[in-house]
Amino acid sequence: MQQQTTGEPILLGGMTIQFLVEAAQSGGSISVFRCDLPLGSRVPAPHSHDGFDETVYGLRGVVDFTVDGKPSKLGPGDILFIPRGVVHGFSVRGDEDVSILCASTPGLFGADYFRELADVMSAANGGPPDRAAIFAVMTRHGLTPAVPAPA
């Protein structure tokens, strides 16, 4: 078995994302990343995934998810399965930072998505990010925003 290496942390909207297994390391079967979400982190717009399922495992704190219109809280040791095509979103509320472990199967989702979003946020120079650019990045990486793209 090949030893996996951890990728460089990606900073995005207050979040820190670190890939533990990239798709290329797993022969395309899975990608796994840790996401550290301080209170007040900017999180992605509600969306669905076109070609992969996502499983989320709570490591620290409580994150509020909405999956297919149903709310649920994910805390340490909790697991949530999100099938492809199902609209979901999440928010960080409460009184402590959150850490989650996410796995996408098959491994179609990777670090480039987060790096490209970080570039869009950086280009905003502290102002509101370009929504059309964000939606373009999402679409390019197999995510379908639940709200219409800006005209």
Q: Where are the domains of the chain?
A: 10-109
State the DSSP string of 87-148: -EEEEE-SSS-EEEEEEEESS---HHHHHHHHHHHHHTTTS---HHHHHHHHHHTTEEESSP
Q: What is the pLDDT of residues 4-36, one digit of tens each?
A: 556 889 998 889 999 999 999 999 999 999 999
Q: What is the mean pLDDT of the chain?
A: 89
End-to-end C-alpha distance for the chain, whole angstroms? 48
CA distance 125 to 69: 34
Superfamily (CATH H level) for 10-109: Jelly Rolls (2.60.120.10)
